[in-house]
């Protein structure tokens, strides 16, 4: 394989690249739950879960999700609340809502059958060019290209091409290379998956393992002696910090010897949209205790019990965990509290049944901390 950039677009060279990767993939592919039994629905779910989430964190939620929603129509008919609850641990809950909407579109517009071609898949909510290409090629054998972060890295290094992911020219070139490969290899789905696998396990972001790479002989990045110079790294926008002051209100269940927690529903849009959490006030800077007292409509100053930082893609959230009063003191007024927060949808939920609702990981952690502090004080 000649290590020139044009060679990858040459049919013979593209086939050679694909053959080397197919052989390697046959020997080295990881055993992942969605690889055992291929169908469009399993691919749709796994691709939605794998966006921005590492493979190891997806395995268990994938099995749980498939056990509850074994086919696309069962997912379409499920409630959004249950879909969000099953998504717990994966983050980026917007993906869960879009997957749910895609399943409903498949039920209503495609007779409950996942479309097989990339062009039709692209019309589904939340399905972009990468996901459409992945399902169409890997499950149905279409000559559709795919480019994700792993594929872009492999191509950038193989061709030693300057540029940054996210730049128009760089991205367009990656799609051209991916199209060229998919057009000329005999099994485009296997080759597509093999390039992704190579990027994930061998041509890693840091410390690529060129000694065990099936395409190192043609790789210009390897020949340069500094493969991890490619692709260039994007400079990130400065991160911002915001403060979430959370009030955890607990009470004994009426019916059983359990504990209930007061939850409110987040707004329709924005971070963790429509998910459930303890009442919270969000601010650009840390708020003084007396401001929290009036903000939450309390008659007593809340008691701070914990604080921790949570990082999202673009910002750091400092969580300040409070409870309304010290144990044994007068209970807070639920009406005043909710009025102070703008009367959001709310409910008392048994802590043993939190799995039935969509709560983000940090909010689960906050409730766990409050329960554990309460137990310690008994
Ligand atoms: S030889 Fe090294 S840099 Fe080139 S594709 Fe393989 S792992 Fe990546």
What's the farthest any 2 CA atoms get from each other in the chain? Answer: 79
Residue ranges of the alpha helices (H) in 185-305?
A: 188-201, 220-224, 289-295
Q: Using a pLDDT cut of 70, give the percent of the chain over it.
A: 95
Distance CA 133, CA 112 (A): 20
Instruction: Say what the pLDDT of residue 332 is.
Output: 75
Q: What is the mean pLDDT of residues 106-126?
A: 98
Atom in ligand 1 nearest the alpha carbon of residue 215: 6
Stretch 6-28: mean pLDDT, rounded? 85
Measure 174 CA to ligand 1 centroid, in angstroms. Answer: 16
State which CATH number among 3.40.50.740, 3.50.30.30, 3.30.43.10, 3.90.79.10 fits the domain covering 240-377. Answer: 3.90.79.10
More confidently predicted of 40 and 270: 40
Residue 319 structure tokens: 């969580």
Which tens digits make up the pLDDT trace of 312-352?
A: 888 999 999 999 876 555 567 888 888 888 888 999 999 99
Instruction: Measure 90 CA to ligand 1 centroid, in angstroms.
Output: 30
Q: Pairing state of beta strands 315-323 and 303-311?
A: antiparallel
Measure 161 CA to ligand 1 centroid, in angstroms. 13
| Residue 223 CA, ligand 1 centroid: distance in Å | 9
* 333 C-alpha to ligand 1 centroid (Å): 63
Atom of ligand 1 nearest to the CA of 214: 6
Which atom of ligand 1 lies nearest, measured to the CA of 209? 7
Atom of ligand 1 lying closest to residue 219 CA: 4
Q: Give one word for 91, left, alpha or beta, with left for phi > 0 and alpha for psi -120 to 50.
A: left
Q: Residue 362: which of 298, 311, 326 has the closest Cα?
A: 311
Cα(276) to ligand 1 centroid in Å equals: 45
Greater confidence (176 vs 10) lies with 176
Q: What is the pLDDT of residue 1?
A: 43
Distance CA(245)–CA(238), nearest Å, equals 23
CA angle, 83 as apex, 80 and 87 as ends, to 5°?
135
Ligand 1, CB within 6 Å, residue ranges? 154, 157-158, 202-203, 208, 210, 213, 215-216, 219, 221-222, 227
- pLDDT at site 9: 57
Task: Give per-residue pLDDT as tens, 91-103.
Answer: 889 999 999 999 9
Strand ranges of the sheet holding 240-247, from the earlier edge strand across to the other edge: 280-283, 240-247, 315-323, 303-311
Pairwise CA distance, residues 47 & 149, whole Å: 14
Domain residue ranges in the chain:
6-229, 240-377
Average pLDDT in the chain: 92
CATH 1.10.340.30 correct for 6-229: yes
- Ligand 1 centroid to residue 211 C-alpha, Å: 8
pLDDT of 127 over the 60 cut:
yes
- Please give the C-alpha separations between residue 170 and each of 1, 32, 160, 191, 243, in angstroms, as whole numbers: 23, 30, 12, 21, 37
Q: What angle (nearest 5°) sits at the alpha carbon of residue 164, between those of residues 160 and 169? A: 85
Among 28, 161, 194, 202, the mutation site with the greatest number of ligand 1 atoms within 8 A of its Cβ is 202
User: How many Å apart are CA 143 and CA 117, to the nearest integer?
Assistant: 10
* Positions marked catalytic: 47
**What separation in Å is there between the alpha carbon of 119 and the centre of ligand 1?**
32
Atom of ligand 1 nearest to the CA of 213: 6
By most ligand atoms within 8 Å of CB, the mutation choice from 216, 225, 231 for ligand 1 is 216
Residue 42 has pLDDT above 90, yes or no: yes
Between 234 and 114, whose confidence is greater?
114
Q: How far is it, in rounded angstroms, from Cα 295 to Cα 290?
A: 8
What is the position in ligand 1's atom list of the atom closest to the CA of 210?
Answer: 2
Task: Over range 245-267, report the average pLDDT.
Answer: 89
Picking from 172, 162, 170, the residue whose alpha carbon sits closest to that of residue 230 is 162
For atom 1 of ligand 1, which residue has the closest CA? 216
pLDDT value for 330 = 58
Q: What is the rounded CA–CA span in Å between residue 357 and residue 345?
A: 14
pLDDT average, residue stretch 297-316: 91
Neighbours of 210 (CB within 10 A): 18
Question: What is residue 237's predicted lDDT score, i.e. its pLDDT?
Answer: 82
């Amino acid at each position: 394989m000649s290590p020139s950039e044009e060679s990858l677009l040459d049919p013979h060279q593209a086939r050679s690249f694909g053959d080397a990767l197919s052989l390697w993939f046959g020997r080295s592919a990881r055993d992942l739950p969605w690889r055992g039994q291929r169908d469009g629905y399993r691919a749709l779910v796994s691709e939605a879960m794998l966006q921005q989430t590492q493979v190891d964190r997806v395995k268990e939620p994938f099995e749980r999700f498939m056990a509850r929603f074994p086919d696309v129509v069962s997912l379409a008919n499920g409630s959004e609340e249950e879909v969000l609850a099953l998504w717990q641990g994966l983050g980026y809950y917007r993906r869960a809502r879009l997957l749910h909407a895609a399943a409903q579109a498949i039920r209503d517009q495609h007779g409950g059958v996942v479309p097989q071609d990339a062009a039709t898949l692209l019309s589904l909510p939340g399905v972009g060019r990468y996901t459409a290409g992945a399902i169409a090629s890997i499950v149905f054998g279409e000559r559709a290209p795919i480019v994700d972060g792993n594929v872009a890295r492999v191509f950038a290094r193989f061709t030693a091409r300057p540029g940054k992911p996210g730049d128009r020219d760089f991205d367009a070139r990656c799609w051209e290379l991916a199209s060229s490969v998919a057009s000329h290899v005999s099994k485009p789905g296997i080759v597509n998956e093999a390039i992704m696998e190579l990027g994930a396990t061998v041509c890693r972001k840091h410390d690529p393992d060129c000694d065990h790479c099936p395409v190192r002989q043609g790789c210009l990045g390897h020949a340069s002696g500094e493969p991890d110079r490619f692709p260039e790294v994007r400079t990130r926008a400065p991160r911002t910090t915001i403060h979430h002051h959370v009030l955890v209100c607990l009470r004994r269940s009426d019916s059983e010897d359990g504990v209930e927690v007061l939850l409110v529903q987040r707004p329709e849009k924005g971070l963790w949209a429509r998910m459930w959490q303890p009442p919270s006030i969000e601010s650009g800077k840390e708020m003084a205790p007396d401001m929290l007292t009036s903000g939450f409509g309390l008659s007593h100053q809340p008691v701070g019990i914990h604080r921790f930082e949570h990082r999202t893609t673009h910002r750091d959230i400092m969580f300040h965990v409070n409870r309304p009063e010290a144990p044994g003191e007068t209970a807070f007024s639920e009406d005043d509290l909710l009025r102070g927060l703008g009367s959001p949808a709310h409910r008392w939920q048994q802590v043993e049944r939190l799995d039935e609702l969509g709560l983000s990981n940090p909010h689960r952690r906050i409730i766990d901390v409050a329960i554990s502090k309460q137990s310690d004080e008994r």
